[in-house]
Amino acid sequence: FMFRIKKETRNTILWITIPLIASLVIFQSGLFLIHAVVPSASMQPTMKVGSHFVGNHMAFWFRKPKVDEIIFFKKDLFQNGRKSLYVKRVVATEGNIVVISGGTELDPHVKVYEDKAAYEKAHHNKDERVLTVPKGSYFVEGDNRSNSYDSRFWKDPFVRADEVEGNVLFQF
C-alpha cells in the first residue's frame, strides 16, 4: 500500500529536509561550527559553568582575533602531549607589551601597552614581569580573573595563531 504525495508537498518536504540534514552534517563534523560546554568558572560571569556555546571555525580565515574577543583554542598547557579546548578573552595581540605586577598571587594586575613607546612613557617598578606578545600570538585571560588559569600563569604565556580554533558566536 503506497501513499500518494502531491508534487508541491514533496518539493516542500525536500526544501526543508535537505538543508536541515546538510546543516546537521556540517555542525556534527565540526568543519565550520563547533558545539562545546564551558567546563570551568574561568569565564564567569560572561559564560557560566556548564553552559553551551557554538563557535565559528571560519572566524579567522580572513582576519585575526581582536582585543576583547572571546576565542576558543587547543593548547597543551600541562606538557603531557594532549591538547585541550579552552575559552578565553584576548587581552593583547602581537606587538603589545604586557606588564604583570602587584595584585594577589591568584589575581595579579595586568597592564597592556600598545607598543614599546607607550610602555617607556609609563612609570614602572622593579617587580614587574614584562612580556612582548610575539608575531602571530595572543595573550588571553578568563573574565573571572581570580579563578582563571590563563596566560598570566602559563609557562608559555601565549596562544599561537595556529592553536586558535575560532571565536564564540553565542551561548545557551
Active-site positions read 42
CA dihedral sign of residues 44, 49, 53, 57: positive
Give the angle subtended at the CA of 42 by the CAs of 59 and 91, to the nearest 5°: 50
According to DSSP, residue 46 is labeled T
> How many Cβ atoms sit within 10 Å of the Cβ of residue 95?
14
The Cα 122–Cα 8 span in angstroms is: 71
Residues pairing with 112 in the sheet: 98
Count CA atoms closer than 13 A to 150's CA, side-chain side.
29
Q: Kindly compute the dihedral angle of the four CA atoms of residues 110, 111, 115, 117, in this order, to the nearest 10 degrees.
A: -130
